[in-house]
């Protein structure tokens, strides 16, 4: 490009976090934490360090407790070993001029007994099994049938989110993103297809957003509202997520989020990793309803990202698969350079292959 550089590559203040550009690395589960401890290791440090050119890195989903884990070898945010592992990652990213926030994750019913404390049933708002698969040591398998959370258990889960946020702060993160997307616990509470509760957490939209809001408010107290955001995927069918009226549900949610003053919503537009127009949904209305920043994601390419930022339809754009394959994605996008293709076979689990061995554009960066 001979013209002035696109706004996509200009700095942006996300709440209290200064980003050097508006290109975000989306959260990406890679199942490469240390076996036995689920602590980040040196290979993970190298992977994130390579991607510090992003304006912001959102880590892969990090379970807030063992109960919150749904896949094997995903990193946690609840033990000393895990905090120590994350500290090496935040130090490495900061040393290279990047910013990094942790995605706090409770999978709810998207889990398997082999991953749960005492091999128990996974927990959910209602005892309804999702039609989806998880990934355990032996490979992909059906999720286990969940049990319904007692009302008395909900404060302890909010407490686990708080503890994980405190741990993320101790590990040097710039903030946190609460995982409210993709059919995991918070999303299970939000949607009328997975939430059949008759107490204060189920039924009306007001009741179904209660859990999400309580988590957000509690976590914001730890980090400060300017360093907290939430990821949502209004129409994505990921992990069997369904609702009778997503527009009303998510409009209400973001309106209520305004009261919390959190920094951003991170919106997966359309079907995750698939069609952006999967179901009709008015994302512009959602952006207008929310007072904070709007990070857009899903199947963006360079042109669409530039156009979206120039039009003001988002403040930043998150890339997932392109960041897997291109550690220096920002440099490549800015130069209009060719991109490496992601290798799907090495997405989940394994070693450096398909993880830290994607080539950089220039020798010096590598
Ligand atoms: C390997 C892989 C792992 C993912 N893990 C997560 C995750 O941990 N948390 C999350 O919110 N989304 C996760 N996603 C979804 C991505 O963040 C993103 O929404 C999706 O890939 C669409 O963006 P893209 O078209 O730029 O890849 C994952 C996607 C992939 C491909």
Which CA distances in Å does 18 have to 13, 21, 56, 318?
A: 5, 9, 9, 16
- For ligand 1, atom 14, name the residue with the nearest CA: 28
- pLDDT of 164 > 80? The answer is yes
Q: Residue 106: pLDDT band by 50, 70, 90 thresholds?
A: very high
Which string of DSSP letters, residue by residue, matches 243-275? -S-HHHHHHHHHHHHHHHT-SEEEEE-SSTTS-
**Domain residue ranges of the chain, discontinuous segments joined by +:** 3-365
- pLDDT of 364 > 60? The answer is no
- For ligand 1, atom 25, name the residue with the nearest CA: 299
Q: Which ligand 1 atom is nearest residue 179's CA? A: 11
pTM: 0.98
| Whole-number percent of the chain with pLDDT over 90 | 97
Q: What is the pLDDT of residues 26-77, one digit of tens each?
A: 999 999 999 999 999 999 999 999 999 999 999 999 999 999 999 999 999 9
CA angle 142, 145, 148 (to 5 degrees): 145
- 184 catalytic? Reply is yes
Task: For a ligand 1 pocket test, name from 320, 321, 322, 349 the mutation site with the most ligand atoms within 8 angstroms of its C-beta.
Answer: 320
DSSP character for 324?
A: H
Instruction: Please give the structure tokens belonging to residue 154.
Output: 């909900």
Query: Rounded to a whole number, what is the largest CA-CA distance in the chain?
Result: 61
- Which one, of 155, 150, 187, 208, lies nearest residue 61 by Cα? 187
Q: Identify the pLDDT of residue 362.
A: 87
Q: Identify the pLDDT of residue 363.
A: 67
- CATH number, domain 3-365: 3.20.20.70
Q: Which ligand 1 atom is nearest residue 268's CA? A: 19
Q: At residue 136, what are phi and psi to the nearest 5 degrees?
A: -120, -175
Q: Give the pocket of ligand 1 (CB within 6 Å).
A: 26-29, 60-61, 103, 179, 181-182, 231, 268, 272-273, 297-300, 319-322, 347
* Helix ranges restricted to H, 51-137: 80-95
| Whole-number percent of the chain with pLDDT over 70 | 98
Q: Residue 5: pLDDT band by 50, 70, 90 thresholds?
A: confident
Rounded to the nearest angstrom, the distance between the alpha carbon of 20 and the centre of ligand 1 is: 22
Mean pLDDT of 211-229: 98
Mean pLDDT of 142-165: 98
Q: Identify the pLDDT of residue 2.
A: 44
Mean pLDDT of 207-211: 98
Report helix, strand or coil for 62.
strand
Q: Identify the pLDDT of residue 365.
A: 45
In angstroms, the CA 204 to CA 189 distance is 11
**Cβ–Cβ < 8 Å for 147, 123:** yes
Of 184, 201, 348, 358, which one is the catalytic site residue? 184
Q: What is the pLDDT of residues 230-283, one digit of tens each?
A: 999 999 999 999 999 999 999 999 999 999 999 999 999 999 999 999 999 999
Average of per-residue pLDDT values in the chain: 97
């Amino acid at each position: 490009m001979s013209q002035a550089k696109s706004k996509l590559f200009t700095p942006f203040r996300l709440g209290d976090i200064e980003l050097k550009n508006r290109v975000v690395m989306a959260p990406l589960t890679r199942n490469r934490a240390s076996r036995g401890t689920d602590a980040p290791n040196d290979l993970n440090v190298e992977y994130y360090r390579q991607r510090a050119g992003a304006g912001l890195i959102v880590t892969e989903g990090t379970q807030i407790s063992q109960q919150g884990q749904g896949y094997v070898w995903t990193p946690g945010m609840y033990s000393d070993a895990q905090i120590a592992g994350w500290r090496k990652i935040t130090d490495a990213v900061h040393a290279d001029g990047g910013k990094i926030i942790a995605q706090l994750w409770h999978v709810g019913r998207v889990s398997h007994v082999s991953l749960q404390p005492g091999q128990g049933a996974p927990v959910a708002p209602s005892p309804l099994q999702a039609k989806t698969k998880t990934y355990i040591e032996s490979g992909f398998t059906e999720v286990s049938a969940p049990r319904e959370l007692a009302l008395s258990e909900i404060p302890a889960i909010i407490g686990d989110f708080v503890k994980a946020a405190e741990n993320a702060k101790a590990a040097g993160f710039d903030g946190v993103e609460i995982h409210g997307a993709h059919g995991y616990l918070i999303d299970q509470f939000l949607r009328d297809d997975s939430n059949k509760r008759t107490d204060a957490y189920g039924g009306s939209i007001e009741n179904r957003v209660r859990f999400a809001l309580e988590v957000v408010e509690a976590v914001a107290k730890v980090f400060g509202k300017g360093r907290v955001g939430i990821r949502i995927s209004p129409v994505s069918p990921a992990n069997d997520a369904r609702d009778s009226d997503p527009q009303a549900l998510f409009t209400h949610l973001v309106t209520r989020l305004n009261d919390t003053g959190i920094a951003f919503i991170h919106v997966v537009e359309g079907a995750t990793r698939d069609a952006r127009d999967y179901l009709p949904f008015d994302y512009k209305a959602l952006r207008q309803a929310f007072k904070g920043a709007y990070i857009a994601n899903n199947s963006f390419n360079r042109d669409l990202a530039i156009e979206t930022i120039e039009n003001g339809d988002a403040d930043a754009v998150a890339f997932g698969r392109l960041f897997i394959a291109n550690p220096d994605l920002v440099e490549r996008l800015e130069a209009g350079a060719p991109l490496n293709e992601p290798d799907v076979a090495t997405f989940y689990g394994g070693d450096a292959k398909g993880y830290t061995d994607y080539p950089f554009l220039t020798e010096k960066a590598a």
